């Protein structure tokens, strides 16, 4: 065997050169960045979907309250919807939403208040104040990380969204967009 053949065989056993190793590490780094960005985007989309689902739950609770306890009017807070009904042990909302007035869930903060043109209603079955209209909102806790859009709904039973941390204002219209 010639020395040239031995040298060629020896080089083939040495493995990767430093440049080849650096190229592999750069490619892995790029793939990692793309994967993390995709994961973060998926998390934001999931949080936004969860926020709209909670707003739909609040709307259903308000409609049940309106028909059963509000005497034709709406609750003015989440704790009012989350309090047990007189004579029953259940409330209109689950504890994770109705225990406090501004709960945080899946990267969003939720709230309920009287609608802009609301008038005072009768006292509810528990002696609490009611209003003729309500406004519920969901705002991301960290814009871009937990959500890109804020959402709002009212007794009209439609959910509106807008980019940023300020929810759509009443009356709902552009630049806000109808979500559900």
Evaluate if residue 91 carries a pLDDT over 80.
yes
Is 5 within the bounds of a domain? Answer: no
Angle at 97 between CA 180 and CA 76, to 5 degrees: 80
pLDDT computed for residue 44 by the predictor:
92
Is 173 within the bounds of a domain? Answer: yes
Is 2 within the bounds of a domain? Answer: no
Q: Into how many domains does the chain fold?
A: 1
Is 8 within the bounds of a domain? Answer: no
pLDDT in tens, 158-179: 999 999 999 999 999 999 999 9
pLDDT in tens, 5-28: 665 555 555 667 888 888 888 888
pLDDT computed for residue 138 by the predictor:
97
Distance from C-alpha of 176 to C-alpha of 174, rounded to nearest angstrom: 4
Is 67 within the bounds of a domain? Answer: yes
Percent of the chain topping pLDDT 90: 65
| Residue 166 Rama label (left phi>0; alpha psi -120 to 50; beta) | beta
CB 90 within 8 A of CB 84: yes
pLDDT computed for residue 9 by the predictor:
58
Residue 68 or residue 41, greater confidence: 68
What pTM was computed for the model?
0.80
pLDDT computed for residue 96 by the predictor:
85
Is 9 within the bounds of a domain? Answer: no
Residue 2 or residue 103, greater confidence: 103
pLDDT computed for residue 95 by the predictor:
82
Is 143 within the bounds of a domain? Answer: yes
pLDDT in tens, 124-159: 998 999 999 999 999 999 998 999 999 999 999 899
Residue 31 or residue 164, greater confidence: 164
Is 123 within the bounds of a domain? Answer: yes
Range of the domain at 130: 17-178
């Amino acid at each position: 065997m010639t020395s040239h053949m031995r040298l060629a065989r020896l080089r083939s056993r040495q493995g990767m050169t430093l440049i080849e190793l650096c190229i592999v590490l750069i490619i892995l780094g790029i793939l990692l960045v793309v994967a993390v960005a995709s994961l973060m985007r998926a998390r934001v989309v999931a949080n936004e979907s969860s926020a709209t689902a909670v707003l739909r739950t609040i709307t259903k609770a308000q409609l049940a309250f309106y028909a059963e306890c509000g005497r034709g009017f709406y609750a003015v807070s989440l704790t009012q919807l989350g309090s047990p009904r007189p004579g029953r042990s259940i409330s209109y909302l689950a504890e994770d939403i109705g225990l406090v007035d501004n709960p945080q869930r899946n990267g969003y903060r939720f709230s309920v208040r009287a609608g802009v043109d609301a008038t005072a209603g009768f006292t509810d079955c528990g002696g609490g104040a009611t209003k003729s209209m309500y406004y519920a909102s969901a705002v991301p806790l960290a814009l871009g990380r937990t959500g890109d859009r804020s959402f709002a709904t009212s007794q009209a039973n439609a959910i509106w969204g807008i980019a940023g941390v300020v929810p759509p204002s009443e009356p709902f219209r552009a630049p806000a967009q109808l979500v559900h």
